[in-house]
Structure 1
Amino acid sequence: MGVDPGLTRCGVSIVDGALGRQVTAVAVDVIRTPPEMALPQRLLLVADAAEEWMDRHRPEAVAIERVFSQHNVRTAMATAQAGGVIALAAARREIPVAFHTPSQVKAAVTGNGSADKAQVTAMVTRILGLATAPKPADAADALALAICHCWRAPMLDRMAKAEAQAAAAQRKYLERVDKQRKAVLG
């Protein structure tokens, strides 16, 4: 499940990943909340809709765009809050959550970490073999997040396993050194 978080428009998508880089679009939509509504109620609407998506589609993972930096602090806070309630909904269902920066998503989908929205939309349309481009941009961004995660997750898993193996080997080495030191000191 890919999520482009936002309070006014929150893009959500489901894709199926296959061997290699093959991905298929399953569903995409935009959760909308009225700007005049109070923040807690808007967050509740986003959370309820995201939970309904998770319960209906049962994703193996949820990929959420990481709020990196924005010029408008208020917008950044709202985006982070929307992403937070979605991450919470996934955690309650024991669905792994991954956060990807906008540049990671753009680089994965277009090959250029500073691609514009039109380039991202064009590549999402091409990668998924869609007849028409997903609209609005929040929908295309949610699909791009899901695609990015399908392509990056195997590498991230391998890196995590390698780091865990290195940490275990280091612990074992330090235990051996400590044991030898104690034997010498006696």
Structure 2
Amino acid sequence: MGVDPGTQIMGYAVIEVRGQHVTVLRYDVINMKALGSNHAVKLKRIFDRMIELIDEFLPDELAIEAPFFGVNVQSMLKLGRAQGVAIAACLSRQIPYVEYAPTKVKQSVTGSGSATKEHVAHMLRQTLALPPIAEAPKLLDATDALAVALCHHYQKGNNATAAGGKSWGKFLAENPDRLNAATTKKSTPRAAKKVV
């Protein structure tokens, strides 16, 4: 699972990897603009939606973009909280995570660490054979999250922080009683694939 953190719009993407073949399962945004200015409400929305996505897709790892240091201090604090909540949701499900600098993500997808969001989205559409999207400008945060997930795949996941050294799949196998009926159906072992 890849995440591009934000306090107004947070992008997320889920990919499935079998060998070197990448399938995009979903990429979209969590739009919090309608939630007003209460930051706590937005953080709760991020946590709740992340848990829903984790329970639906059972990702093995989280790749998240690190905050960019060029923004003002207040914005950076809020962005850091949003990132922390997304990470906490994954850690609550024993999912390891890794952070990537924005320049690293852009470099791995486009070859340039200074690429624009539009260039990243264009390269992803070519690389992953994504269909053109009519609302592409509105989904730039989603394609950024997809770029984070793809960057992690390119890095082979070798630098994932071990959250207790367990993947979500391993946690499910060791704790079948911790699942509710809705997620039990999706917890079948996946031997040859990896969901990021």
Sort the TM-score into its range (normalised by shorter chain): 0.7 to 0.9
Q: How does 1:88-103 map to 2 (within 5 A)?
A: 88-103=88-103
Name the CA distance, whole Å, in 1 between partners of 2:68 and 2:8: 19
Alignment match, 1:32: 31
* Contact 2:28–2:139 (CA under 8 A) maintained in structure 1: no
Structure with the bigger RCO (C-alpha within 8 Å, sep 6+) is: 2
2:146 aligned partner, one-letter code: L
1:92 aligned partner, one-letter code: S
Structure 1: unaligned runs, 5 residues or longer? 161-186
Using the TM superposition, give the Cα deviation of residue 139 of structure 1 relative to its aligned residue in structure 2, in angstroms: 0.6
1:136 aligned partner, one-letter code: L
Identity %: 35
Shifted more, 132-141 versus 118-127: the winner is 132-141
Q: How does 1:48-59 map to 2 (within 5 A)?
A: 48-59=48-59
Alignment match, 2:127: 127
Task: Find the structure with the greater CA-based Rg.
Answer: 1
2:24 aligned partner, one-letter code: A
Q: How does 1:1-186 map to 2 (within 5 A)?
A: 1-20=1-20, 22-34=21-33, 36-133=36-133, 134=136, 135-156=138-159
Larger fraction in helix? 1
Name the CA distance, whole Å, in 1 between partners of 2:80 and 2:18: 30
**Partner secondary structure for residue 7 of structure 1:** coil
Structure 2: unaligned runs, 5 residues or longer? 163-196
Using the TM superposition, give the Cα deviation of residue 122 of structure 1 relative to its aligned residue in structure 2, in angstroms: 0.5
Superposition misfits of 4+ residues, deviation over 6 angstroms: none
RMSD: 1.8
